Every structure is written in structure tokens, then in C-alpha cells.
Structure 1
Amino acid sequence: MESLLSLAFDNLSSYDGVKIRKGLKQVEGLLAQICLSGPNNKKSAAAAPTEPARDGESPPRKVLADLGGDPAFREFFKLQDGFEWNIAQRLLPTLDWLVARGGDGQYDLLVVNALDLIQGVLLLHPPSKVLFSRSMHMNLLLDLIEPVNCPAVQCATIITLVVALLDSPQNTRVFERLDGLLTITSLFKDNEMPREVRFKLTEFLYFYLTPETPSIPKADGRGNGVAAQGGGGGLLQRSPSKLAKVFGRSNQMDGRERPTSESSATLSVEAKKQYVDRYLPGVVDQLLKDLDTYKPFGGILS
């Protein structure tokens, strides 16, 4: 796995669009192997019996509960805990370079591809979210939401932003401090915003107005790993994370202990409602009503 990541990182760090595309494909292939069941994966087949994949069809996805017994996933997770092999850490500079080369359709496709991979890495390795506690990385996402970018890039960025903030109150506070909520609501009020982007913005507001999961500072932090590189400490999430159950431990990275308390790291729904109401007066109550009535995202945020 280290050899494959080394090749991918070499391509991602180049200044050649063709090599960057190849690096993104290599990372995508690695994540696909982790997320998809092989034809001989008897455990997955027993847990979720499905018909064999037909020619041209993708193999079935692995059930998250099965990952605990997957040596490849365990090795992947272990590698992501360190700075040297962390994929998100390598994708962010590549994304920044692609954005600087913007205005070209081929680079837009690569930007969307890189954002999709960042989403996948953050979901498979939640501790990597600590990278977005840094203003430079959060600002990169906020820049990509701006109307100067194509709708596909805007939509992919909004999804990535949701993943980066999910169960990460410290990242949400960074987002707010950088006037991210002003950016989102300004675009929401723009009548010329494409329909698909407006829909994603509405979804983001639904997400933002849901209760936050408190975080507890790690008791025995050590100053290494991606958390230290990201400028924040590893956090023990209270949410009933499936990945935590898989490993029998918290989803955290080694890093410095955070000085902030739970109460200062999280905000109540009422407080966030007041924030949104500053920019979208009269809209918040309807958003909360819709959230309670229609239960978007399958009700998992309710």
C-alpha cells in the first residue's frame, strides 16, 4: 500500500495535468479496493447476500461493520494516522494548484475529482478532518463555492464542506470565523444561482441547523501525526460512530491537547439559528420546520 501511495503522491505533486489525473486515479483505485467487496469476500457475502456482479457492473460495497476484519482497511487507517502517508494532506496542495490553474474545463474536472476523493478520505478516516481546522484549508473551500467557479465545482465543494464539518465543532467555528456563513447565505439569496447549486446550499443550511456533537479533548495527546500538522489536537467524538465500533476505539489522531472546553467548542441550535437569521431573516423558522417535517438525508440529522 505504501508503494501505491508513493507513486500516487509523486504524480499529485507534479505540475503536469496528465500526471495529476493519473495520481487521482491511483488514489481512487485504492479507495475503491477498500470500499468494494471482492468476489471471494465470504464474510461480506454472508453479512449482506447479493447476486454476483454481472459483467460491467461494480462489485457490491462492503458493509461498514465488516471493516473491522478487513486487514487492508486496518492498514489504510493506520497509515492515515501519520503525516507521511495521509492522503487528504497530499490532496489539498494539489487542489490548491488546480484552482490556481482555473478557467479551463479539464482542470474543473480534476478539481471535482479531487474534492470527491477528499470526501471519501474524510469519511473513511474522520481524524483527517482536523486539517480543516486550519484557516488556509477552510478558505480554499470557501473560495471554491464562489460563483466564479462552475456549478459542478460549487456543488462538489458544498458536499466536501459538509463532510469536513460533520461531527467537528472546532471546524465549524473556523468556518464561522472566516465568514463562511455569510458566503453561504449570500449565494443562497442570489436569484441567478443555478438550481443545482441552490439545492445544495439549502441542504447545507439544513445540516448547519442540526444539533452539534460535543467533542472531548484527548487526555494523553502527543505532538505528532496529522493532527499536529493541522494545528489542532485529536478529538474523541461522542457520536456513536460506526468506525469507532469497528476498531473498538475512538476516531482520533495523535496530536496536542486542545485547551478549549466542550461548551466553548459547540453551539446550540438556538445560537446557530440566530447566526443564520442575521443573514436570512424570516427564513430560519421555515428551514427548521422543513427539517422536522421532511427529515432530509433520511432523517439521520434529526
Structure 2
Amino acid sequence: MENLLAHSFDYLSSYEPSKIRKGLRQVEGLLAQICLSKSKSTADRRRSSLAPEAQPAPKPLSDLREDPAFREFFKLQDGFQWNVAMRLVACLEHLLGRGSNGTNDMLIAHCSSTPPSRALFAREIYMNLLLDLLDPINCPAIQSATLLTLVTALLDCPANTRTFEDLDGLLTVTSLFKQRATSREVKLKLVEFLYFYLMPETPILATPPGLQRSPSKLSRPISQSSHTSNGSAGKTNRDTRTTDEKQALLGRYLNNVEDLVEDLKETAPFGATVY
């Protein structure tokens, strides 16, 4: 596993676009082999080739915890040397420093769409990088890929969401939405992002069953009662926010947030109850 990652990281550190592209494909291929189910028959593979839009399904966690390759990869992500997200962030920083052109923009979009190590984005330096990618000067492909990455980074991670808010992420997102030059496709993704953001937070400790990290590596438990242990009411958990609290924050930058919330309650696009 270390050898596979080392080859990919060498390519990601290159100054040649072709090598960077190769490194991104190697990382993507490695993650696909570990996390996605393979076709079980020749007929399945034939149907897959005839219908390229059909994507392999993720492996269930019950299978992943018994997979030696996944266990080894998971263990390596705890260290700096083999952490994929750290290398992708470094690659993004390098690409952003090279200016905007067609080839570079494609590499940035590809790099942004690779699933991140979410705990990384609780740190301001890395969340700022995502917000920089939402700058209006970037192409729609980069903006769209970044919004998807941002959803992945914030999902079930209240600490990351608080960092996003502290760095004026809501201002960045709403300003891009208000720009006339913003493409229709990006505006639709921005609306989807706002629906997602307005969902109430339910913190989850996302360590797959059977995989134990050392206590220093685990996020501290944040699923706590909104009341104090002595029974006094009204003390809100600072780690999470409700839809009403998020509505108040978003309302500073965008009108008619109430309409978004009402629509969210009626349609439940993410299959959860909004309260």
C-alpha cells in the first residue's frame, strides 16, 4: 500500500500536467478498488461498458471492515506521510499558484472532486483553500466540483461547519450566487448547497465498526444534550446548530431564506425531518 501511495504522491508533486493527471487517476483508482464493489459477472461488466453512466455501488461498511486493503489504507491515513487528503491539498495549492488556463483548470476540478479527509477542513488554512476555489474568476467546473467537496467536508462534521461560518463561507457562497456572471449550473448547485446547509446537525462519530483508532486520533464526542447535566434548560450545545439558527445566519446575506426553509420542510430532499 505504501508503494502504491508513494508512486501517486510523486506524480502529484510534479510540475508536469500529464504526471499530475496520472497521479490523480492513480489515487482515484486506488480508492475505487478499495471502496467500490466490483461487477460480479461478465454480464455485469458488459452492461457496465454499454452504460458508462452506471457507477459501481459503494461497498457496505460490513464488508469494508473485513477488507485487509481497506484496513491498511484506513490505518495509514492517521499519519502525515501517507494521508491522501494532505497531498491533494498541497497539489491544489500548487495548481492555484500557476494561474488559470484550460489544462490547469481541469486538473483543479479533478483534484477538488476527490473525496477529502474531512477532519482536515476544521483547520482554517484548508477550509480557506476551498473558499478560494469558489472565487468568481474560477471556471464553472472548478466551482461545481468545489461545492460537492464542500458538502462532503461539512456532512456530519459540525466543527468543519463552524470553521466554514467563521471564515465567512456563507458570504462567499451567497456572493457567488448573486453574481450575474455565475453560470446557471453553478447557481443550481449553490441552491442545493444552501438546502444542505440549512439541515439541522446531528453529529456522528464516523469510525467504521471494527476499526479502532487511538483516543488521540478520535474526534471528541459531540453528540450531547442541549441541556446541562444538572437539568438546567436553555443551554444550547455550541458544537451543533438547528435549522432556525442557521436560517438566522444565512439571513444576513440572503433574502427570503424563510422560503428556502419552508420548501425544505415540505420536500425533505435529503430524507430527514427539519425542525
Paired residues of 1:36 and 1:62 also in contact (CA < 8 A): yes
* Cα deviation code 1:105-135 (max 9, x no counterpart): 0011111111111x2xx3xxxxx31211111
Mark the CA change 1:270 to 1:254 in structure 2 (over 3 Å): closer, same or farther. Answer: same
Which structure 2 residues correspond to residues 1-302 of structure 1 after superposition, within 5 A?
A: 1-38=1-38, 51-54=43-46, 57=49, 60-65=56-61, 66-117=63-114, 119=115, 122=116, 128-214=117-203, 237-238=204-205, 244=208, 247-248=209-210, 254-255=216-217, 263-281=237-255, 283-297=256-270, 299-300=271-272
- Distance in 2 separating the partners of 1:182 and 1:62: 34
Question: Aligned partners of 1:102 and 1:253: how far apart in 2?
Answer: 42
> By percentage of residues, which structure has more helix?
1
**In structure 2, do the counterparts of structure 1 residues 142 and 257 end up closer, same or farther at CA, with 3 Å as the change threshold?**
closer
CA RMSD across the alignment: 2.8
Q: For the Cα contact (< 8 Å) 2:36–2:57, is it kept in 1?
A: yes
For 1:62-92, what per-residue CA distance to the aligned partner results, in whole angstroms no more than 9, with x for missing partners? 4324222222222211111222211001110
Letter in 2 for 1:280: L
* Counterpart in the other structure of 1:232: none
- Tell me the matched-pair count: 257
- Between stretches 250-259 and 74-83, larger displacement belongs to 250-259
In 2, distance between residues paired with 1:256 and 1:75? 17
The alpha carbon displacement at 1:279 in A equals: 1.1
- Report percent identity of matched pairs: 52
Task: Quote the Cα distance in structure 1 between the aligned partners of 2:72 and 2:165.
Answer: 35
1:266 & 1:56 partners in 2: Cα distance?
41
Name the CA shift for 1:252/1:211 in 2 (closer, same or farther; >3 Å): farther
Q: Secondary structure at the match of 1:148?
A: coil
**Aligned-partner residue type, residue 251 of structure 2:** D
Give the distance between the partners of 1:159 and 1:56, measured in 2 at CA.
25
Structure 2 length normalisation: TM-score? 0.83
Residue 60 of structure 2 aligns with an amino acid whose one-letter code is: L
SS in 1 for 2:113: helix
Tell whether the 8 Å contact from 2:71 to 2:211 is kept in structure 1 after alignment: no
Gaps of 5+ in 1: 40-44, 123-127, 215-236
- Alignment check: 8 A CA contact 2:265 2:273 kept: no
Q: Is the 8 A contact 1:11 1:23 kept in 2?
A: yes
TM-score, normalised to structure 1, is 0.76
**How far apart, in 2, do the equivalents of 1:171 and 1:200 lie?**
20
Contact 1:81 1:254 in 2 (8 A): no
